[in-house]
Amino acid sequence: GKNGVPVAENFRLEQSTIPDTIQVGQVRVRTLYLSVDPYMRCRMNEDTGSDYLLPWQLSEVADGGGIGVVEESKQDNLAKGDFVTSFNWPWQTVAILDGSLLQKLDPQLVNGRLSYFLGAAGITGLTALLGIKEKGHVAAGANQTMVVSGAAGACGSLAGQQIGRLEGCSRVVGIAGTDEKCSILVQEMGFDAAINYKKGDVAKQLGELCPGGVDVYFDNVGGDISDTVISQMNQNSHIILCGQISQYNKDVPYPPPLPPDIEKIRKERNITRERFLVLNYMDKQGASVLQLCQWIQEGKLKVCLVLTDFMISLAAAFQSMMTGGNIGKQIVSVSK
């Protein structure tokens, strides 16, 4: 159904067998890591709201970002022992995949921490970096203030902690849901300030922390929080429409329309709010991944991962992610 928060009972773990032999062009892989992401909630609807996302089918294997090691290959450019990744990796411990759809990984780029390729050095990091570059219109020396909602999440924590500043923002303020998260954002991730939206007057706190208004808003959540931020944005400012997680459990179009009074503000102040899809910028993937890996190696990007064992349950990890229970990227460790 379209309305409601996913629970563990929406999933089940099954044992099955796969063929003993593989065909030309195929590879047998052993899964190492699986990524659990907010967009997957949309795939639990018959209409995902996005033409690039197919819905998960009832009683079929779910899929998403994954990393594994090749155990057998009949694909020319892949050999046993190679590490590979895909955006459509099945939630299986072992799988037979089309080798032409897999991307080979170089562990040295992330100092051997392969799981980073599902986070800071993967689609998550690319979304933060390219979102700011392509939709943030950040200019070095322009003294811009950036606000990040969902700032303790996988994408928000990367966008705010350093990418925004490395690209030129002079002040970065995060919005999260607990005092602990806000403390980590400021003390460990380099945010200038953070707001616990569950405490106090968010609009008042935002006005105090951003006295010159907001120039760039990295929007991960939508809803009331975003309405509050937009009301304090400057003329000719920019919204990076990354996600709307507060709306994913509701039957609304994506991106959900703004309330009339907020839309009026947006138009009067010429605030851009364009849908951002990182897959439209894959021609910049190679250079961007290298940049992210360099920042990681230099210690300029702090990587925050929550690793969950596969047998503890992918479903539990999914539920925790959708209710904002973790800080950083949610990744399931399948085997070692």
| 162 found inside a domain | yes
Residues 131 and 197 reside in one and the same domain: yes
| 186 found inside a domain | yes
**CATH code, domain carrying 258:** 3.40.50.720
Residues 129 and 266 reside in one and the same domain: yes
For residue 1, pLDDT beyond 70: no
CA distances from 241 to 82, 128, 203 (A): 36, 11, 20
More confident of the two residues 78 and 167: 78
Q: What is the pLDDT of residue 147?
A: 97
pLDDT band at 9 (very low <50, low <70, confident <90, very high): confident
| 29 found inside a domain | yes
* Separation between Cα atoms, residue 194 and residue 148, nearest integer Å: 9
Contacts from 41-50 at CB under 8 Å and sequence distance 24+?
41/6, 41/245, 41/248, 41/249, 41/322, 42/248, 42/254, 44/6, 44/10, 45/1, 45/2, 46/2, 47/2, 49/253, 49/254, 50/254
Residue 288 CA, chain-centre distance (Å), reads 16
Residues 69 and 161 reside in one and the same domain: no
Residues 166 and 245 reside in one and the same domain: yes
Q: Which domain holds residue 221?
A: 123-279
Report for 65-74, 121-130, 141-150, 299-308: range of highest mean pLDDT: 65-74
CA distances from 104 to 25, 94, 116 (A): 15, 17, 14
| 50 found inside a domain | yes
Residue 313, token pair as written in the block: 């349950």
Residue 221, token pair as written in the block: 């959540």
Residues 70 and 172 reside in one and the same domain: no
Residues 108 and 63 reside in one and the same domain: yes
Residues 252 and 139 reside in one and the same domain: yes
* Separation between Cα atoms, residue 182 and residue 298, nearest integer Å: 24
Residues 85 and 200 reside in one and the same domain: no
Residues 172 and 275 reside in one and the same domain: yes
For residue 200, pLDDT beyond 50: yes
Residue 48 CA, chain-centre distance (Å), reads 17
Q: What is the pLDDT of residue 336?
A: 47
| 25 found inside a domain | yes
Handedness of CA 36, 37, 41, 44 (dihedral sign): negative
Q: What percent of the chain has pLDDT over 90?
A: 57
Number of domains in the chain: 2
Residues 135 and 251 reside in one and the same domain: yes
Domain endpoint, select from 264, 279, 294: 279
Helix (H, G, I), strand (E, B) or coil at 307: strand
Mean of the per-residue pLDDT values for the chain?
Answer: 88
| 85 found inside a domain | yes
Residues 145 and 84 reside in one and the same domain: no
For residue 56, pLDDT beyond 50: yes
Residue 88 CA, chain-centre distance (Å), reads 15
For residue 80, pLDDT beyond 80: yes
**CATH code, domain carrying 95:** 3.90.180.10
| 288 found inside a domain | no
Q: What is the pLDDT of residue 189?
A: 87
Rounded to an integer, the average pLDDT of 178-194 is: 92
Rounded to an integer, the average pLDDT of 195-203 is: 94
User: Tokens 């690319």 belong to which residue?
Assistant: 126
| 213 found inside a domain | yes
Residue 114, token pair as written in the block: 């392969």
Residues 129 and 115 reside in one and the same domain: no
